[in-house]
Amino acid sequence: MIPFEYLRAGDPAEAVAAVAGRPGAAFLGGGTNLVDHMKLGVAGPDLLVDVSRLPLDRVEEIAGGLRIGAAVRNSDLAAHPLVRERYPVLARALLSGASGQLRNVATTAGNLLQRTRCPYFQDVTTPCNKRVPGSGCSAVGGYTRYHAILGASEHCVATHPSDMAVAMVALDAVVAVLGPGGARTLPLAELYRLPGDAPQRDTVLEHGDLITAVELPHLPFARRSAYRKVRDRASFSFALVSVAAALDLDGGLVRDVRLALGGVAHKPWRAARAEAELRGGPATEDAFRRAAEAELAAARPLPGNAFKVAMTRNAVVATLRALAEEGR
Ligand SMILES: Cc1cc2nc3c(=O)[nH]c(=O)nc-3n(C[C@H](O)[C@H](O)[C@H](O)COP(=O)(O)OP(=O)(O)OC[C@H]3O[C@@H](n4cnc5c(N)ncnc54)[C@H](O)[C@@H]3O)c2cc1C
């Protein structure tokens, strides 16, 4: 590990100024991803600005929704009574990730900004365009079981690893950011990028941009929502495929729906085509399958992950079917 300095920021403005003023500086949340990367040689910040103890650790009600501070720990968020009651999809997604010990430490912002688990990204002896732009993609033609089937590029086929982010994208979450130029908000779905020819950039954030909160809008039908994660082990394992869904039924019809997919793309994938297909139609298994297939028409699987297309379709159908049965 290379030497680095450590600063515990007193307030968000101080944290932003400290990182923005130094190209090699990075924010430190719980450190469960960044410190691993420092040990592996994947990241080498020369200054860590600790934002985990800023007064951004509250979950507050706002206009029927919730404002979640960036430093709220994953365990606390999953256990929060209003999250469990109003957004069960989020509680389930959080609890499906990592381990109890990790969730006790991991923060909301750090979870959103955790980096891909692509083995080539984490192995500094192999080429990786995300780690070293222009060096090549070892996954193309390599091990691709966990890689993207949607929205990838020839430069990068990595997937975004966060479970929590998939649920938040389905819930139309909005991210609050404090940057060197002031405060702004943006939809979480627009925070993330597809790899294109710049896979080193996971998000649209600039150096020095601090996430201060995530806002979940009022969405009454999210009380009937679910997260389904398909993985190689029952715990302590990242998603091969995951589905976050909320369903609003009007008799046997779908009045409204929210659907997002994990493990399939460089970002949490909002399944807008499937949602459009479902709205106003029958809440039947056939309709759920057609909607999933419409979304997956754009899938371009790799030799090692063609199974993910059927797996995603089946996971979408199973999740929506369970929600529909719950509503009858
Ligand atoms: C063994 C293991 C298994 C795991 N399994 C899963 C899993 O199944 N599902 C899952 O979703 N996750 C899983 N994780 C990942 C875990 O959820 C993340 O490591 C954790 O959420 C990161 O949060 P953190 O606060 O520790 O982030 P950190 O490591 O502190 O930071 C991560 C990134 O976010 C940046 N950052 C932190 N706070 C801010 C802020 N406020 N504003 C701007 N940038 C910020 C940092 O600079 C860094 O780039 C696993 C991790 C491990 C080690």
Dist. CA 111 → ligand 1 center (Å): 4
204 near 186, Cβ under 8 Å? yes
pLDDT of residue 1: 60
Rounded to whole angstroms, the Cα distance separating 241 from 165 reads: 14
Q: State the distance from the centre of ligand 1 to the C-alpha of 314, rounded, in angstroms.
A: 29
Q: Could you give the count of Cα atoms lying within 13 Å of 169 in the half-sphere of its Cβ?
A: 24
What the block records as the tokens of 163 is 């479970």
Is the torsion defined by CA of 213, 103, 65, 205 positive or negative? positive
Asked if 224 and 248 touch (Cβ cutoff 8 Å), the reply is yes
Transcribe 54-77 into DSSP letters: SS---EEEETTEEEEETT-BHHHH
**35 Cα nearest atom in ligand 1:** 29
SS3 category, 286: helix
Strands (E), the chain: 5-8, 25-28, 47-50, 59-62, 65-69, 174-179, 182-187, 210-216, 225-230, 241-250, 253-262, 269-270
Nearest to 211 by CA among 28, 44, 8, 79: 28
DSSP string, 64-132: TEEEEETT-BHHHHHH-HHHHHH-HHHHHHHHTSS-HHHHHH-BHHHHHTPPP--HHHH-TTS-BTTTS
Token couple for 278? 């479902």
Q: Residue 235 has what pLDDT?
A: 84
**Dist. CA 146 → ligand 1 center (Å):** 18
Model-wide pTM > 0.95: yes
Of 6, 22, 34, 185, the residue with max ligand 1 atoms within 8 A of its CB, to mutate for a pocket test, comes to 34
Tokens of 284: 């039947």
69 lines ligand 1 (CB under 6 A): no
Residue nearest to atom 2 of ligand 1 (CA): 98
Give CA torsion, residues 214, 242, 110, 119, to 10 deg: -160
In the numeric block, which tokens belong to residue 205?
Answer: 């954030």
pLDDT of residue 236: 85
Cα distance between residue 14 and residue 80, in whole Å? 29
The pLDDT value recorded for residue 93 is 98
Please give the number of the atom of ligand 1 that sits closest to the Cα of 163.
11
* pLDDT for position 234: 87
Per residue in 177-189, pLDDT (tens digit) is 999 999 999 999 9
pLDDT at 4: 97
- Give distance in angstroms: CA of 325 to centre of ligand 1: 35
Q: How far is the CA of 30 from the centre of ligand 1 (A)?
A: 7
How confident is the chain (328 residues) per 10-residue block, as mean pLDDT? 92 98 98 98 98 98 96 98 98 97 98 98 98 98 97 98 98 98 98 98 98 98 98 92 98 97 98 98 98 98 98 98 90
* Backbone φ, ψ for residue 10 (5° rounding): -85, -30
Region of residue 285 (phi > 0: left; psi between -120 and 50: alpha; otherwise: beta): alpha
Pocket flag, ligand 1, residue 29 (CB < 6 Å): yes
Question: Using an 8 Å Cβ cutoff, are 135 and 200 in contact?
Answer: no
